[in-house]
């Protein structure tokens, strides 16, 4: 698991500030599921939903962050028996909990942890929205917020309207990577060249610089 970009103190503070705004109102934050490419290349590289990433800082597939009204927890599916073969070694629940600073619990126990009136925000992917709907017993879909969800949306909007120092640093890194990508593209491009060749040159340059787009 790549932790080079992970900023634990920033995530701890973001969760603390959101918890202060929510008080004893429980809330469920979904990370989402991998998206298919629709081609032979399979799935896109997974990126967690923005609100989950803002609060927990890691790209955890199909995870759910839960504010119980008293504390934060993360629910994560148990890895399959061949998971390490495809993705490499993954931390167990206890190790992941140490990294995140919150208890990490198997997803099978999430339903029993939910309280009536738990708020949520729709995941960008439909599959996770279906899971949220099943867990909460009401329809969850993009573009629709129930009254119980609005305080959670308002609280996250208020927090994210003002960037903290970690957010500002991330914007600067993104700007640097964008500048490097455009510069590499200008060096590689010429009449008649394929876009795929230019893209490969840009990716190689960014890898050499240890940057991502």
User: Exposed, middle or buried: residue 41 (CB in 10 Å: 0-12, 13-18, 19+)?
Assistant: exposed
Which long-range contacts does 76-81 make (Cβ < 8 Å, 24+ apart)?
A: 76/104, 76/105, 76/106, 76/107, 77/106, 77/107, 78/106, 78/107, 78/108
Nearest CA-CA partner of 155 in 63, 27, 65, 68: 27
Q: What are phi and psi of 76, to 5 degrees?
A: -130, 135
Distance CA 11, CA 51 (A): 11
CB 78 within 8 A of CB 106: yes
Task: Please report, in tens digits, the pLDDT of each residue of the chain (213 residues total).
Answer: 677 789 999 999 999 999 999 999 999 999 999 877 665 555 567 889 999 999 999 999 999 999 999 999 999 998 777 666 666 777 889 999 999 999 999 999 999 999 999 999 999 999 999 999 999 999 999 988 999 999 999 999 999 999 999 999 989 988 998 998 899 888 888 888 898 888 888 888 888 877 754
* pTM for this entry: 0.84
């Amino acid at each position: 698991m790549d932790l080079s970009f992970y900023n634990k103190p920033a995530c701890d503070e973001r969760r603390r500030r959101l918890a202060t705004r929510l008080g004893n109102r429980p809330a469920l934050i979904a990370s989402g599921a991998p998206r298919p490419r629709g081609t032979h290349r399979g799935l896109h590289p997974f990126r967690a939903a923005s609100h989950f990433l803002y609060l927990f800082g890691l790209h955890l597939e199909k995870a759910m962050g839960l504010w119980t009204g008293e504390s934060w927890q993360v629910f994560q599916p148990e890895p399959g028996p061949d998971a390490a073969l495809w993705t490499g070694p993954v931390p167990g629940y206890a190790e992941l909990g140490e990294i995140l600073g919150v208890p990490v619990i198997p997803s099978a126990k999430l339903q029993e942890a939910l309280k009536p009136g738990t708020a949520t925000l729709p995941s960008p992917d439909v599959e996770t929205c279906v899971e949220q709907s099943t867990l909460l017993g009401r329809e969850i879909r993009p573009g629709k917020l129930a009254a119980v969800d609005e305080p959670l949306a308002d609280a996250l909007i208020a927090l994210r309207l003002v960037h903290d120092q970690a957010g500002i640093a991330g914007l600067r890194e993104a700007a640097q990577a964008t500048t490097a990508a455009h510069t590499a593209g200008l060096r590689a491009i010429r009449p008649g060249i394929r876009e795929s060749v230019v893209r490969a040159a840009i990716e190689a340059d960014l890898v050499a610089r240890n940057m991502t787009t």
